Homo-oligomer: A and B are copies of this chain.
């Protein structure tokens, strides 16, 4: 019909169709990357009964708090937590400023670049590296360094920025809860200041809704007389295990109505949440998808030796306490937004 602008015409028609399809997709439901089944149903049931006026389980909007572990719950935690990756990557720069570290362990091993030796670093070794790379500098400098690193670092398997390795189905849970009046919080064993740098861009969660392992800061004045804060080595909150409900009390002051985790470090947060009155949702993610992501914990049949993962003991606890166990393999249509 239109001989002058046929291409433009078809483009416009396609755009309209695309927009229409998008509306249809949204209308299809709030958790579109989830397969229908008991896990998805449990989330929808929980939200429905806590937000429907007149429901015996109705929760006033001001009290709608949902807390999410980060590593392994909102994004990939293998082969290593990204805040540890950051700490290791920072060591060479640190050694430039403090050359004496070149002959001191565990920095010497990290600087050697010997991957096998690095993989064998102990927890106290890693704590030394974290202390050296996360403290002793102005807050603003630390934030700038993390921001720079996040923009350039790539995950070893997918070769993508870490912030692209967020789980699309969990993003939909965050959005679904927020659309229903829930305040969504990250409650992570990772560094609070570290996660706050990218939480808004990656998850739509503002810095003030990130609770994490936190150290003290010290107020002081620069040479120009301007006040600034310096990150100190003194630990205020170890936000793992019992530290999660303790951190929730410190930073939020209310018991969550919903909590999401994936490891033994989340046990106390999940049981604390579930022990509240009325409807409460505790959900735990089982990494059983070696093809699309990773399989570890009970999915491997290995004994309960690995710290910080989903053990068989935790699996049994989940079943006993009525937590929802999500199978990444069975419950999720896709894992990442970049999948087709």
Contact = CB atoms under 8 A, between A and B. Distances in A.
A208 B227 contact: no
Contacts of A217: 246, 249-250
Contacts of A207: 252-254
A190 to B, nearest CB: 14
A275 B226 contact: yes
A242 to B, nearest CB: 4
Interface in A201-255: 206-208, 210, 214, 216-219, 226-227, 229, 236-237, 242, 245-246, 249-254
Given A62-B206, A227-B271, A245-B229, A253 B183 contact: no
Interface in A48-99: 62, 65
A185 to B, nearest CB: 9
A62 B200 CA distance: 9
Counting contact residues on chain A (CB < 8 A from B), the size range is 35 or more
A2 to B, nearest CB: 38
A280 interface: no
A196 interface: yes
A193 interface: yes
**Copies of this chain assembled into the complex:** 2
A229 B210 CA distance: 21
Contacts of A62: 200, 206
Most buried by B among A217, A219, A275: A219
Most buried by B among A139, A249, A252, A268: A249
A219 B272 CA distance: 9
